[in-house]
Amino acid sequence: MSRGRGSNLARLIFLGPGLIMLTLLAVVPMLLMLSTMFFQRGRFGGVVYEFTTANFSRLFQPLYLNVIQDSLVVAGLVTVLALLIGYPTAYAIAQLPPKWKTIALLAVMLPFWTNFLIRMYAWTILLSGPGLVNEALTGIGLIDKPLELLYTRGTVVVGLLYGYLSLMILPIYSAVERLDPRLREASANLGASPVRTFFSVTLPLTLPSALIGAVLVFVPSFGNFVVPEILGGGKAIMVGNLIRDQFLKARDWPFGATIALVMVVVTVILLLAQAVVSRRTRSA
């Protein structure tokens, strides 16, 4: 092949900067950091390079297992809710006339461009005891005394959902938008009702993108420590908080790295599952 050499060089030049950033500068330090889990913590922080497996046995203590399990449940709940709310939203946006489509997409992305921390603090104003929601509810006489809206696990779920919903909507929207409208017409023409068409044609063909959305929502929810801290009031601890505490408060890098490994493993499993499902629906 005559074009082989030249285009290989071009490919390398294009790929180089991005891949170096992402592999050398991200994977290498992360591997170095993760490798500390085989060692002991120093007395005043830092790492003492003596091999140990103590970090792993500590991980399996009920205390930590519970936090991991809770985090999985919260992130899973957030993902399912995001899917249930995000899919209809994305579907509806894709059916809008072009002008309204742009406006709706902007509305979806606008909060995403706003600082995450600020958005979460803004919610505390909304949900606190004398906050806007409670005022409104007592105002219209629906409740007698303010509800405890802040600092519960439910608040954390709602906060994460609010924070990451757009990551679910955008990939689904692009899949529904790309879907050939004639496939739906063909389905109707062959005698399928609109509901049947949705479940037999639209949903299966947009599922891979919904799964991408699910991974995009699940992963940052699972490792989040800002939302449990601000909206959960530090009472609902998640894996993210645990890691943060180990690194910043307990100065126990080796154990922090061990918990971080859990996150990496969960993420990799999810990505693999998503890849398998989307390959099965796409080609085969």
The distance of closest approach from Cβ of residue 21 to other proteins in the complex, given in angstroms and rounded to an integer, is 35
Q: Which is nearer to other proteins, 145 or 182 (CB)?
A: 182
* Angle between helices 62-95 and 153-178 in degrees, nearest 10: 40
The distance of closest approach from Cβ of residue 98 to other proteins in the complex, given in angstroms and rounded to an integer, is 15
Residues of this chain that interact with other proteins (CB under 8 A) are 180, 182-183, 185-194, 196, 200-201, 204-205, 281, 283-284
The two structure tokens encoding residue 180:
């050939």
The distance of closest approach from Cβ of residue 228 to other proteins in the complex, given in angstroms and rounded to an integer, is 39
- The one-letter amino acid code at 24 reads L
What is the spatial distance between Cα 78 and Cα 160, in angstroms, rounded to a whole number?
7
Q: Which is nearer to other proteins, 15 or 183 (CB)?
A: 183
What is the spatial distance between Cα 72 and Cα 238, in angstroms, rounded to a whole number?
9
The distance of closest approach from Cβ of residue 97 to other proteins in the complex, given in angstroms and rounded to an integer, is 13
Q: Which is nearer to other proteins, 59 or 192 (CB)?
A: 192
Q: Which is nearer to other proteins, 11 or 196 (CB)?
A: 196
Residue 163 backbone dihedrals phi, psi, to 5 degrees: -70, -35
The distance of closest approach from Cβ of residue 186 to other proteins in the complex, given in angstroms and rounded to an integer, is 4
The distance of closest approach from Cβ of residue 175 to other proteins in the complex, given in angstroms and rounded to an integer, is 13
Q: Which is nearer to other proteins, 27 or 183 (CB)?
A: 183
Q: Which is nearer to other proteins, 26 or 183 (CB)?
A: 183
Q: Which is nearer to other proteins, 2 or 189 (CB)?
A: 189
The distance of closest approach from Cβ of residue 253 to other proteins in the complex, given in angstroms and rounded to an integer, is 47
